[in-house]
Structure 1
């Protein structure tokens, strides 16, 4: 299996955290979580609304949810948005290199 950013991404057991006041229950993160660690549950603070629940045992701290959250309600401790963007940029470059896509040594993005 090809793993992007294998050497770049921090090798630590970090779990995503949620700011429940910012989460609007859109569930974008639920749909993209590669480990199925996120689920939509009833929000006890706002009856009739939903919020994300993070299953810590399933979470690998990859940051995909942080990058996808439009409300910036999910965060990985120690991983800033700029660092996450850097990892995503490197991942795209690695994928392009793996499949042989490139323009004059540059990634076309």
Structure 2
């Protein structure tokens, strides 16, 4: 038996946090892709803990973009030393009430 899903009113939206390692540091690139033209707001929070201390960083802003074109909405840089663990959390809310979220854990052994 095949189950049919009712179509949703709003096209899908996806977001992710890309981690790029570069010479002992880490760049976090925040990306949103929507099936339709969209605008909204994002919040990126990064908590880092390690032998040399801790830090909490938050950035937020507005974005807009075209359908199926990646929108790079934020960028954060981290210096990772041995024993450091960072957690990055992304929340996206569009003007038409769609949302997505992502989380990445980055650790340096």
Q: Same fold (TM over 0.5)?
A: no
Task: Give the TM-score normalised by structure 1.
Answer: 0.31
Task: Give the TM-score normalised by structure 2.
Answer: 0.31
**Between Structure 1 and Structure 2, which shows a larger proportion of helix residues?**
1
**Between Structure 1 and Structure 2, which shows a larger proportion of strand residues?**
2
